[in-house]
Every structure is written in structure tokens, then in C-alpha cells.
Amino acid sequence: MEAPRLAHTMGSPTSPCEEVIKNLSLEAIQLCDRDGNKSQDSGIAEMEELPVPHNIKISNITCDSFKISWDMDSKSKDRITHYFIDLNKKENKNSNKFKHKDVPTKLVAKAVPLPMTVRGHWFLSPRTEYTVAVQTASKQVDGDYVVSEWSEIIEFCTADYSKVHLTQLLEKAEVIAGRMLKLSVFYRNQHREYFDYIREHHGNAMQPSVKDNSGSHGSPISGKLEGIFFSCNTEFNTGKPPQDSPYGRYRYEIAAEKLFNPNTNLYFGDFYCMYTAYHYVILVIAPVGSPGDEFCKQRLPQLNIKDNKFLTCDEEDGVMVYHHAQDVILEVIYTDPVDLSLGTVAEITGHQLMSLSTANAKKDPSCKTCNISVGR
């Protein structure tokens, strides 16, 4: 059976799509498999062998780009006109076997001095493991190619969102945040057993734990930042926390000034939805100079605690006054332990709405409101 011919399907670097390989002309192609043999297609000729790339190096990795370079023998090097790059997501043993597999991305670029930059948000996602292999090729006058053997396969992982990407998310979240409502407490719902365990095994202090993988796939806080989740949204008609909760029938309430004050810093962490009309914004409150503060300072956009679109803390007539955005659901992470004695625990009168839980919730990658033009 014949292998597929080279299929030039992507637009030129001047098309509306982002340039994929910096300063290069790039096209999507279909190539032979990486298991070794060259294609038997008449569009790929076989002449004197071209040098095979080896000692491949990946560097300058971001959430949607990387630089690649390699070594190769000098023999026939001057005949190389193009590089073929075979890029694939690394297979996950736990992936859904019934889900369509990702289509491998095979790129062709004009040969330029190495290293070269591969960039493209339509085929690179943040915090994702990939494999890559390379061929050298020589384009003939009739459009056919002479190709080398495939190089060895190299594995690498793309990076998290940078502050630049998070700032883009922040700006999108600001658009829909809505007007500000007053609040007086932060609250945290759990099962009764949770609070019993805190009293018996942690000296009455709730301890920070590693954030789960809910929200944007590229979020730098997922699986890394340690903190305690709190809510702060209030009901419009009462100004108090809602009586329903997805997380348990027992609620810990603490005065807002105990967690959020001029001795804390506030950071924007994420903006996402779960295939629903309402959106979530994750904020991080960290005591100034704490380990959590240092972690966030390097990775997250910092907000002015007195003037931002999500959660504010200001003094009026000698009293601290707090406001939260009405049109987004705020998830607040506090990065230090919190002693239960600073607040109260009581049973809620409403329902436990498990369907609203965001534990390990996956972001809707198709939502135009909360996605940016990099991997989701």
C-alpha cells in the first residue's frame, strides 16, 4: 500500500494563523511512520543518503513553543533544503480508549540555521508531554523529496502559562466580573468528619493542601500551590453566603479581615468554566513574605487589594470594608494554616449540590469567554 503523498495544507506565514516556526515557511504534511522505513510514494525519491539528525536538543520551552536543534554529519549537508518534524502527544496509559486519538502533527520547514523555534497554539498545549523526531530532506526540481532516516525520538513537556498568558485571562475575566457587592466573611464547606479530623490530628488548624487540577490546563498553580479553599460570594438579596453548597453540610465562617487585609497580597490565579453559563475566577491570598507569597510573586499577576474587579479590601471611616464581583464565582485560596478558633463551624440549612463541585473540573476548551489563543 502506498504511503500518503506530501499534503501542503497550511497557509503561509502571512496568513491569519500564527507563524508556527519562527522566520520559516511552514506547512502541515503527512509523512511515513517513524518506525524506520522511508515512504515508497513516488513523491519521495531515494538518492544518495542524507545525514540523519542525532543528539536532538529541546530548549526555551514555553506553553506553546520550543526551540529544537541537533547534530548531523557534514556529508551531503549542503543538499538539505527542508526539515521534517514529527510531533506527537505522548500516550497516556490512563487515556480514554474510546476517545478519538489526537492527530499527529507533522511539520515541514525550510532548512535554516539551528536552533529554530517551533510555535503553534493549534497543535501545542501547555503542561503536556510530547515526543518529537526529525528527518532531513532535499526537495527536487520536480517537487519530489529525498529524505533521511528518522532520528531518535525525544520526549519533552511544555510549560505552564506565563504571567503574560495569565494577564490575558485576567483581562477577559474583568470584562464579565460585573458590579461589586459587599461581603463580611469567607467560608469553607466540608463534611463534619473533616472538622473532627482537624481538631483531633492537626491541633485545630486547617492545613494547606496541594491544589487539584481543576481549571485551565496551563494554570501554574494546579498541582503545585498549597492552600486552603474558601468562598466569598453572597446572595444578592440577603448579602449573606448562600445556604446551599457542593462541598458538605458543615460550614466554617471567618471574618474577612482575618484572612484579607493590608498584610496580605492578592493574586489572580485562573479563569474558567465547566460547560456552563457561569464562570469561575480563582484568586490567591498570601500573607506578605510567606512561602505562598513568594511562589505567587514569581508566577501570577498581582492585584491591587483596594482596586480590582474581583475582590477588594479598603478602609472606610476606620473600618475595613470588603466587596466581591457579582457575576463570577470566586474561589479563594489562602496559603497559610487557619485555626478553627478564629471562626465558627455550623450546619447549613440548604442542600448539598454535588453537581456544582469544581473538584478536578475540566475547563471547556471551546468557550470564547474564558479561553485565550494558546493551549487550553
Write the DSSP assignment of 315-370 as a string of letters: EETTEEEEEEESSSEEEEEE-S-EEGGGEEEEE-SS-B-GGG--TTPBP-TT-TTT
Question: Which pLDDT value is given to residue 200?
Answer: 95
How far apart are alpha carbons 232 and 183 in whole angstroms? Answer: 7
CA angle 267, 65, 303 (to 5 degrees): 10
Tell me which residue of 275, 60, 304, 333 sits closest to 170, measured CA to CA. Answer: 304
Task: Give the largest CA-CA distance in the chain.
Answer: 85
300, 351 Cβ separation under 8 angstroms = no
The domain spans of the chain are: 54-158, 163-356
Residue type, 263: N
The C-alpha cell at 226 is: 498549597
Tell me the average confidence (pLDDT) per consecutive run of 10 residues in the chain, 376 residues long.
Answer: 31 35 37 45 56 95 93 86 91 50 69 89 83 92 89 95 95 96 94 95 96 91 96 86 83 96 97 88 97 97 98 92 96 97 90 58 85 71
Report the Cα 145 to chain-centroid distance in Å: 38
Surface-to-core class of residue 312, CB atoms within 10 Å of its CB (0-12 exposed, 13-18 middle, 19+ buried) = buried
C-alpha cell at 312: 477588594
**pLDDT at 18 (0 to 100):** 35
Residue 4: the pLDDT is 31
Q: What pLDDT is stored for residue 356 in this prediction?
A: 54
Q: For 17, which DSSP code?
A: S
What is the predicted pLDDT for the residue at 56? 96
Give the pairing of strands 226-231 and 209-210: antiparallel
Q: Write the CATH number of the domain with boundaries 54-158.
A: 2.60.40.10
In whole angstroms, what is the distance from residue 298 CA to residue 65 CA?
20
**DSSP class of 254:** E
